A = this chain, B = another copy of it.
Amino acid sequence: MTSPLADDVGFLLSRASGLVVRATNEALAGIGLRVRSYSVLVLACDHADGISQRDLAAALGLDPSQVVALVDDLAGRGLVRRAPSPADRRTKLVVATAPGRELRERAAGLAADAGRRRLGRLSGAERATLRDLLARVVTDPA
């Protein structure tokens, strides 16, 4: 019997996300990262002057306390550091270190391979369509 669940976009999103996250976590395990810590590292690398923990939480859809734990872990391994914001010294910005940037490059290749393998049944054009539709869902302010 086919369940109506299988037609529910929310359910499909949740399942597909779980499968890709699991595959990516497995791919990143060898370098001590998981999808969430890798995402924090990417955002820190892509903001040359650093990014606040509040902005990290908003970008990743996480609670601030989760972001603090992820940054603590990365900082303890020397991959990022916290620096005071030039605009407001009470705000700490998360900045990637040189070893953090190196690890991010390795992680990017591993994560991309894992994602491609997991989405292997889709053609390149279909992956692009999926990406565009998801990007619109994610940027919808609703």
Residues of A within 8 A of B (CB): 1, 3-21, 24, 35, 39, 42-43, 46-48, 59-61, 108, 111-112, 114-115, 117-122, 126-127, 129-131, 133-138, 140, 142
Total identical chains: 2
From DSSP, what is the main secondary structure of chain A's interface residues? helix
Residue of B nearest to A21 (CB): B14
Contact A133 B122 (CB under 8 A): yes
Which residues from chain B contact A6 at a C-beta distance below 8 Å? Answer: 135
Contact B5 A135 (CB under 8 A): no
Q: How far is the CB of A19 from chain B (nearest CB, A)?
A: 7
Q: How far is the CB of A111 from chain B (nearest CB, A)?
A: 7
CA distance A105 to B101 in the complex (A): 50
3 smallest CB-CB distances across A and B, nearest first, come from A17-B17, A12-B134, A13-B17
Tell whether A138 pairs with B12 under 8 Å between CB atoms, given A3-B42, A126-B133, A130-B133: yes
